[in-house]
Amino acid sequence: MSVICRKLCSSILSEHFGQIVQRVAEDLFKHDARPLELICCTTHLPLTKIKEALCVLIKHGFVVYGQTERGLEYSLIHQNILLILRYPKYMFFVKTMCGDESEMILEEVLMSGYITASEVITKTYKKIEQSPSGLQPSVPVLKEKFELLVKNQFLTRSLCTDTVEEKTNEKPDFTLPDFNLAAVIKKIEGDNNSDPGDSKIYWKVNFDRLIQDLRDQIIVSAISRRLDENAGELMRQLLFLMYLRTASWAHTSNPIPLTEIKEAVKKINYPLLAHHLDQYLHLIEEDSSQFLKRVGESGGHFCVNMKEAFEQLAWATLENIVTERFGSKAARIFRLVRDKKYIEQEQIQQLAMIPAKEAKHLTYTLLQENYLQIQEIKKSGVSAAPIKTFFLFHIDLNLVVYMEVQHCYQALYNIMQRREYEISSNKRMIDKQLRMQTLTTNLKEHGATEEQLAEIADLMTPSEKQQLEKVQNTIKKLGITELQIDDTLFLLTMYLRYH
């Protein structure tokens, strides 16, 4: 793992869990697996604090432990830390799939790491009560929503498998929760002795499922862009049919019979798609993106090719990056090299139709920035003739993707650092606003007059208000940029997962 990835993870942890958790994790980063005593040695933190930090890290799935001959050892799973960047997207996805209450339930689970069903419902109930969303809190509805999340496999049982050796053979368990509804209601009403009967049955977020869903969204929207909405919807149906018969993360789906595709399309309200299904299948299959393959002698089966799809998408991403960093002529050269696989400088300028000097400059810029690689080929001609050397340009896709993943890490880290800086250098004003907000809410609760409220609002001068707004916009812009960079990171990570 690279230094920049470590710094990014560290920064994410610090933002959410504070310095101590960050320092403990940092120690595990540097040393891989190690026992408590050694963490204590190098971090110089109080032992109890280290223990507490490890508890937090374990509960959120960032640290696992295992028994070794050296004792109990803790190790970090840094990929899970990077997932935090994407939590908002998981919540939003669940919102669109299962509704607002489900989103809130998921958020609660994310906040706890793992939690019992009754507890998460209680918490969500209280949250809805307090929120101005206009939702009516209801325990049966929340239970239903919780079950919906389990049925969709967004939540899964959290078994006691945080140890390294057990982690590998863990099978997700989606048995529906069973607890006493009435007891939960009683508990909410304040009866602390009421027992919902599901203590020690914990639930956690099934990230694997959500990652696949975000992955599928990319595929669907790519096809929608390339062809049209109908084709995009067909792709969605194909992915759904793929799940029914294929192991997660398989490179290609098992063959899907045409009849089943027809059935699936009939059930959704896309009349144009249903009418032209054969044609749409043909179009997706024929498209250069090659997301779909026709198989079998009769031609009545289709395979979704995930591996190929992400290769195409990774190329498209890189081409875009080259365009924006070095201009469209550089991107032309990049695509040309991709197309020809191995190509000489002279051919580049001829085929790209770019003046020799400019073509050379761009090619060498791309070479210098590692988007292109060079290969030397020595060819001995007729006997006595001097050995001729050819320099061929080519692209090592995996290498370039890996490089851009690092680029994403750095961009994320930098933007986060900057956001942190903007917040801390305007801390006084932000705090002031926070205090005023609390004051206003308190006063409102106590029936303060308009005048009193206006008085508080005046505590901040117009120029201060202006400044505050500017700071808030800055923080928002930086935050949104992080979300956007993460999109690129996600796509490239998906490519690496398949290749």
Residue 335 to residues 97, 324, 355, 372, Cα–Cα distance (Å): 38, 14, 17, 11
Q: What string marks each residue from 279 to 298 as x (binds other proteins by CB under 8 A) or -?
A: xx-xx----xx---------
- Compute the least distance from the CB of residue 264 to other proteins, in Å: 18
- Compute the least distance from the CB of residue 460 to other proteins, in Å: 21
Query: Of the two residues 38 and 429, which places its CB atom closer to other proteins in the complex?
Result: 38
- Compute the least distance from the CB of residue 50 to other proteins, in Å: 9
Residue 214 to residues 145, 218, 254, 284, 290, Cα–Cα distance (Å): 21, 7, 21, 20, 20
Residue 84 to residues 111, 164, 477, 480, Cα–Cα distance (Å): 11, 21, 19, 14
Q: Can you tell me the distance from the alpha carbon of 409 to that of 202, in angstroms, rounded to the nearest whole number?
A: 33
Query: Of the two residues 54 and 142, which places its CB atom closer to other proteins in the complex?
Result: 54
Residue 148 amino acid letter:
L
Contact call for residue 394 and other proteins (CB under 8 A): no
Q: Can you tell me the distance from the alpha carbon of 411 to that of 415, in angstroms, rounded to the nearest whole number?
A: 6
Query: Of the two residues 147 and 285, which places its CB atom closer to other proteins in the complex?
Result: 285
Is 359:348 a contact under the CB 8 Å cutoff? Answer: yes
Going through 258-329 in order, the beta strands assigned E by DSSP cover: 292-295, 301-304
Query: Of the two residues 185 and 395, which places its CB atom closer to other proteins in the complex?
Result: 395
Residues sharing a CB contact under 8 Å with residue 316, sequence separation 6 or more, in sequence order: none
Q: Can you tell me the distance from the alpha carbon of 241 to that of 235, in angstroms, rounded to the nearest whole number?
A: 10
Site for other proteins in 101-130 (CB under 8 A): 107, 110-111
Contact call for residue 410 and other proteins (CB under 8 A): yes
Q: Residue 170 carries which DSSP code?
A: -
- Compute the least distance from the CB of residue 281 to other proteins, in Å: 10
Contact call for residue 5 and other proteins (CB under 8 A): no
- Compute the least distance from the CB of residue 212 to other proteins, in Å: 19
Q: Can you tell me the distance from the alpha carbon of 235 to that of 213, in angstroms, rounded to the nearest whole number?
A: 13
Is 95:210 a contact under the CB 8 Å cutoff? Answer: no
Of positions 129, 346, 431, 455, contacts other proteins by CB under 8 A: 346
Is 233:273 a contact under the CB 8 Å cutoff? Answer: yes
Contact call for residue 299 and other proteins (CB under 8 A): no
Binding range to other proteins, per CB under 8 A, among 42-50, 173-181, 254-262, 458-466: 42-50
Of positions 168, 190, 192, 200, contacts other proteins by CB under 8 A: 200
- Compute the least distance from the CB of residue 61 to other proteins, in Å: 12
Contact call for residue 351 and other proteins (CB under 8 A): yes
Is 377:390 a contact under the CB 8 Å cutoff? Answer: yes
Q: Residue 35 carries which DSSP code?
A: E
Q: What string marks each residue from 241 to 280 as x (binds other proteins by CB under 8 A) or -?
A: -----------------------------------x--xx
User: CB-side exposure of 86: number of CA atoms within 13 Å?
Assistant: 24
Burial class (CB in 10 A: 0-12, 13-18, 19+), 376: exposed
Contact call for residue 21 and other proteins (CB under 8 A): yes
Residue 105 to residues 77, 146, 319, 335, 430, Cα–Cα distance (Å): 25, 7, 40, 46, 29
- Compute the least distance from the CB of residue 349 to other proteins, in Å: 8
Q: Which two tokens stand for residue 281?
A: 């299948």
Is 291:305 a contact under the CB 8 Å cutoff? Answer: yes
Site for other proteins in 157-196 (CB under 8 A): 160, 162
Q: What string marks each residue from 45 to 74 as x (binds other proteins by CB under 8 A) or -?
A: -xxxx-xxxxxx-xxx----x-x--xxx--
Query: Of the two residues 185 and 203, which places its CB atom closer to other proteins in the complex?
Result: 203
Of positions 222, 261, 265, 304, contacts other proteins by CB under 8 A: 222
- Compute the least distance from the CB of residue 436 to other proteins, in Å: 17
Is 388:380 a contact under the CB 8 Å cutoff? Answer: yes
Binding range to other proteins, per CB under 8 A, among 138-146, 187-195, 448-456, 478-486: 478-486
Contact call for residue 81 and other proteins (CB under 8 A): no
| DSSP bridge pairs for 75 | 64
Q: What string marks each residue from 426 to 465 as x (binds other proteins by CB under 8 A) or -?
A: ----------------------------------------
Of positions 220, 354, 395, 494, contacts other proteins by CB under 8 A: 354
Contact call for residue 235 and other proteins (CB under 8 A): no
Picking from 177, 178, 197, the residue whose alpha carbon sits closest to that of residue 187 is 197
Contact call for residue 366 and other proteins (CB under 8 A): no
Contact call for residue 477 and other proteins (CB under 8 A): yes
Q: Dihedral angle at the C-alpha atoms of 188, 190, 194, 199, nearest 10 degrees?
A: 50
Contact call for residue 488 and other proteins (CB under 8 A): yes
**How many residues contact other proteins, by CB under 8 A?**
114
Binding range to other proteins, per CB under 8 A, among 148-156, 222-230, 388-396, 454-462: 222-230
